[in-house]
Chain A
């Protein structure tokens, strides 16, 4: 065969090779994660919706505290109430409590900003898991109040509180003397222990998962430890622990994932994700001093908000440590949390919701 005759054959072979590679050899491309805007809402100059025009999403409200504002928005993007923050405030989905540290009583506002009930006691309020707690004077006690303002229980802790966490079943306080006290919903003591193991005993951070009977702590100085307490046979015991390379002497962020598989806590070089099953760890290289996590169990996603001074980064993570996307949020008090299939965020003076999806 002549040289001229071979050229068409070579071209055909090349085309066939490309086609074979395209259909056979090429791998499947991962879809790209995207957050698509659902709605945005500027707070400056915004007017609340008519209370007679209820939210379309079944009355669900989202509490927010952002810059000089606090209030409530509906999940479909309408402003229900926005108040100017003259003092501090505690916010939940449905209630706002403005307060000053030296006040001896609190007025709880409902989702429309109207007074709902009052609490005649000194202290600073805090909402968690739909429960209302009051930090008592001198950080020496904690109380819980019902949704109608009745005192459910109060507990004097002795030493000042240095860490606190609560979920639907337990309230857990860590003290500057290294003691952990867990309190049941009826005010009885579920646990009082001191993990010890360090030269200076102190509790710097706490997380609780009462459904699985778990309490995680970062505690102690010289040396600092991660400690996981689990309830077995009706009593809490140290299930695992590890010494850390950190030497924090301030509050430390720590969270337990809703699926019970991971603990997230502040490390020396980023946010540490610890697999509770085997104790193995990896580190996400983001500012770790002040972070929150919020989870979308349907999609299996964790929304990690990492704050760094005057801004924050929303990191979307496929647990334990695969980063799917990151989004810059300006403002020192930016927040982000999952709500159904939406991510509800606040940044600057703007609220927004995003729908998670794939492109």
Chain B
């Protein structure tokens, strides 16, 4: 299967799953502190963080308790970077994963679970649980927001800056209206604030140059068929180096020739709130 077909298949699968299977929020706060795709520990997250008012973490749907790690390491001592965590296998080939739980609070006695059964407590006051959804049939992580009830989010994403950068210099678009011709990497600093959360990734990003789409991704699903996790199997730019060391998204490189250039950057969150900026540049 080609990369483009794989990407289309994964996206279609995510939407198809959403159409037939819905999940409950795993805590009493239906608000993501960080979203699928957010920069976390140096790479993008394949799940989301969800705060809990009462400290409890509950099953998002009925299923079978498949795995309970009620400690901080696996058999043999391999450490868990999800902390104590639980995996619940559901019909429709989905597995939900609940991490960052408090060891000793997990419901280890359960075998089958109903929707909203208590799985454990978050580790510490004000802490958030990690929540992920894995599609076993497609070997891919699915953006949980696709399957959860909508958030109450009317705040649009923000575009903090767009940079054109190469080894010699870096231009901040909006401030710089004239740039020298040459090859540049396009860097985007964006976030999707909602409620009390500020550092969330948006749901989709698109870059147009002179009206032609040069980069587009939607954070629907992520898969690692060749040992490298990608949001979009057809685009290697959506891999582990998607974020630079500052947390800026790398949207690819452009060769700017002398004349005028128009760059259009748009970002949107899952609720459809969007932000779009257009820059006109004189290339010398």
Q: Which residues of A contact B (CB under 8 A)?
A: 88, 90, 101, 104, 121-126, 128, 133, 135-141, 155-165, 176-179, 189, 200-202, 204-206, 221-222, 247, 249-254, 290
With known contacts A126-B79, A162-B87, A140–B67 Cβ distance under 8 A: no
**Are A200 and B229 within 8 A (Cβ)?**
no
Complex CA gap A136/B227 in Å reads: 13
Q: Which 7 A-B pairs have the closest CB atoms?
A: A124-B79, A137-B41, A122-B41, A251-B75, A156-B224, A164-B78, A156-B229
**Are B139 and A135 within 8 A (Cβ)?**
no
**Are A251 and B45 within 8 A (Cβ)?**
no
Q: Which residue of B lies closest to A133 (CB)?
A: B78
Partner of B80, one of A135, A156, A252: A135
**Are B229 and A158 within 8 A (Cβ)?**
yes
- Chain A residues within an 8 Å CB radius of B225: 158
Partner of B132, one of A126, A138, A179: A138
With known contacts A104-B41, A156-B229, A247-B111, A161–B78 Cβ distance under 8 A: yes
**Are B74 and A161 within 8 A (Cβ)?**
yes
What is the total number of residues of chain B having a CB less than 8 Å from a CB of chain A? 47
- Chain B residues within an 8 Å CB radius of A176: 66-67, 87, 95, 97, 134
B contact face: mostly helix, strand, loop, or mixed: loop
Is B157 an interface position by the 8 A CB rule? Answer: no
Is B5 an interface position by the 8 A CB rule? Answer: no
Is B162 an interface position by the 8 A CB rule? Answer: no
**What's the least CB distance linking B145 to chain A, in Å?**
17
**Are A138 and B130 within 8 A (Cβ)?**
yes
Partner of A253, one of B40, B45, B76, B89: B76
Partner of A88, one of B40, B46, B79, B89: B79
Q: Which residue of B lies closest to A155 (CB)?
A: B227
**Are A124 and B80 within 8 A (Cβ)?**
yes
A135-B80, A139-B82, A250-B70 known, 20 other contacts, Cβ within 8 Å: A104-B41, A126-B79, A128-B76, A135-B79, A138-B47, A138-B81, A138-B99, A139-B99, A141-B229, A157-B227, A159-B95, A159-B136, A159-B139, A162-B69, A163-B76, A202-B87, A249-B66, A249-B67, A250-B68, A252-B75
Q: Which residue of B lies closest to A292 (CB)?
A: B76
**Are A177 and B83 within 8 A (Cβ)?**
no
**What's the least CB distance linking B210 to chain A, in Å?**
35
**Are B46 and A140 within 8 A (Cβ)?**
yes
**What's the least CB distance linking B70 to chain A, in Å?**
7
Partner of B75, one of A121, A126, A163, A249: A163
Q: Which residues of chain B from 106 to 138 have a CB within 8 Å of any chain A CB?
A: 108, 111, 130, 132, 134, 136
- Chain B residues within an 8 Å CB radius of A124: 79-81
- Pick 25 A–B contacts, CB within 8 A, sort by A: A88-B79, A101-B81, A104-B41, A123-B81, A133-B78, A136-B41, A138-B81, A138-B82, A139-B85, A156-B224, A156-B227, A159-B139, A160-B132, A162-B74, A162-B87, A163-B74, A163-B76, A164-B78, A177-B136, A200-B66, A249-B65, A250-B68, A250-B69, A253-B75, A254-B75
- Chain A residues within an 8 Å CB radius of B139: 158-159, 177, 179
**Are A104 and B79 within 8 A (Cβ)?**
no
Complex CA gap A206/B77 in Å reads: 12
**Are B42 and A122 within 8 A (Cβ)?**
yes
Is B64 an interface position by the 8 A CB rule? Answer: yes
Interface string of B81-109 (1 = CB under 8 A from A): 11101010100000101010000000010
Is B223 an interface position by the 8 A CB rule? Answer: yes
**What's the least CB distance linking B247 to chain A, in Å?**
13
Q: A160, A177, A249, A253: which has the most chain B beta carbons within 10 Å? A: A160
Q: B74, B77, B136: which has the most chain A beta carbons within 10 Å? A: B74
Partner of B42, one of A137, A139, A202: A137
- Chain A residues within an 8 Å CB radius of B140: 158
Q: Which residue of A lies closest to B40 (CB)?
A: A137
With known contacts A156-B229, A177-B136, A250–B67 Cβ distance under 8 A: yes
- Chain B residues within an 8 Å CB radius of A121: 42
Complex CA gap A176/B139 in Å reads: 11
- Chain B residues within an 8 Å CB radius of A254: 75
Partner of A140, one of B69, B108, B229: B229
- Chain B residues within an 8 Å CB radius of A141: 229
**Are B108 and A90 within 8 A (Cβ)?**
no
**Are B77 and A126 within 8 A (Cβ)?**
yes
- Chain B residues within an 8 Å CB radius of A164: 74, 76, 78
Is B228 an interface position by the 8 A CB rule? Answer: yes
**What's the least CB distance linking B231 to chain A, in Å?**
12
Partner of A221, one of B41, B66, B97: B66
Q: Which residue of A lies closest to B141 (CB)?
A: A158
**Are B74 and A251 within 8 A (Cβ)?**
yes
Complex CA gap A204/B99 in Å reads: 17
Is B250 an interface position by the 8 A CB rule? Answer: no
Is B43 an interface position by the 8 A CB rule? Answer: yes
Complex CA gap A158/B223 in Å reads: 6
With known contacts A104-B42, A159-B139, A250–B108 Cβ distance under 8 A: yes
Is B271 an interface position by the 8 A CB rule? Answer: no
**What's the least CB distance linking B152 to chain A, in Å?**
27
With known contacts A137-B43, A156-B224, A160-B85, A165–B76 Cβ distance under 8 A: yes
**What's the least CB distance linking A130 to chain B, in Å?**
15
Q: Which residues of chain B from 218 to 232 have a CB within 8 Å of any chain A CB?
A: 223-225, 227-229
Is B240 an interface position by the 8 A CB rule? Answer: yes
**Are B79 and A90 within 8 A (Cβ)?**
yes
- Chain B residues within an 8 Å CB radius of A139: 80-82, 85, 99
Q: A138, A155, A158, A176: which has the most chain B beta carbons within 10 Å? A: A138
Q: Which residue of B lies closest to A173 (CB)?
A: B78
**What's the least CB distance linking B233 to chain A, in Å?**
12
